[in-house]
Structure 1
């Protein structure tokens, strides 16, 4: 039995859009490239053919990967949750480093959606694990490589 993997609505939409693009645009383009390369004759020494086959292999692998992720996903719409101000999966949390006074905002998402450049952190990350279940005003301690860091939760939003 496989366990369901949490995924935000945005994350699921992004995966579905990529899957649609792979199936309706990229796959036909690769099939056409293979057909064109075959017309050039000897396949053993045909670099275009081998490159197209490699692209096909990659695309088909990605299609299978996305389909598996979507079939194992538990899509969670955070706007419909009522967590009573507590930090839960999908919440957007503003925290302040107590020592430096620096504030950062993160959305807690599934592993596949995590992207630090977009301020989206994995539910399995040390910061997210420390924040889950807490609420505005709480102070959490995060074990970081450089030592423990304390953060105060400034705000929690479900957007």
Structure 2
């Protein structure tokens, strides 16, 4: 049937799905095993949510289902291009993907710990930074004792590498 003969009330809006964490085009989607497992759990939970969708109104159910299926499609694409990095094969004396790095930042007395992870598992509140972030890029290939300087708009922040560890969970 031509769209000209469809009532306006019958037209469903295409659901707007927020994009996943930014992965620059052409960049390999590196993940830790923990990050990959989190992606699989997220996929499992989405599939379960779709299967258990209980909305009486047909239109509302279709809209909710379309939204969840669109999220599932984005997630499945991300999983399909994921490359798991074996942290046991990383050089113990150098910062690479997956490293948990202890840093002294500027004049701060307390050291900070950050792990360099994939874009989907990055969460600064958990001390996880994406490997594509400026600070992670600056720290890559550095060793204990090295310093990096991050130039900010009105200041510079100095990061000194105190420790490097590869924690396999």
| Range of TM-score over shorter length | 0.7 to 0.9
> Which has a greater percent of strand?
1
Matched, 1:130 2:138: yes
Matched, 1:49 2:73: no
- Normalised TM-score (structure 2): 0.77
Matched, 1:60 2:69: yes
Count of aligned pairs between the two proteins:
143
- Normalised TM-score (structure 1): 0.81
Q: Distance in 1 between matches of 2:153 and 2:134?
A: 11
What runs of 5+ residues in structure 1 fail to find an aligned partner? 38-47
CA contact (8 A) 2:102 2:164 kept: yes
Matched, 1:19 2:27: no
Q: Distance in 1 between matches of 2:128 and 2:72?
A: 24
Q: Distance in 2 between matches of 1:18 and 1:123?
A: 21
Q: Distance in 1 between matches of 2:131 and 2:73?
A: 24
CA contact (8 A) 2:92 2:166 kept: no
Give CA deviations for 1:84-106 in whole Å, capped at 9, x if unaligned: 41000110001002323342110
Q: Report the aligned-residue RMSD.
A: 1.8
CA contact (8 A) 2:94 2:143 kept: yes
What runs of 5+ residues in structure 2 fail to find an aligned partner? 1-24
- Equivalent residue in structure 2 for 1:149, among 141, 147, 157: 157
Q: Distance in 2 between matches of 1:144 and 1:7?
A: 28
Counterpart residue number, 1:76: 85
CA contact (8 A) 2:148 2:160 kept: yes
> Which has a greater percent of helix?
1
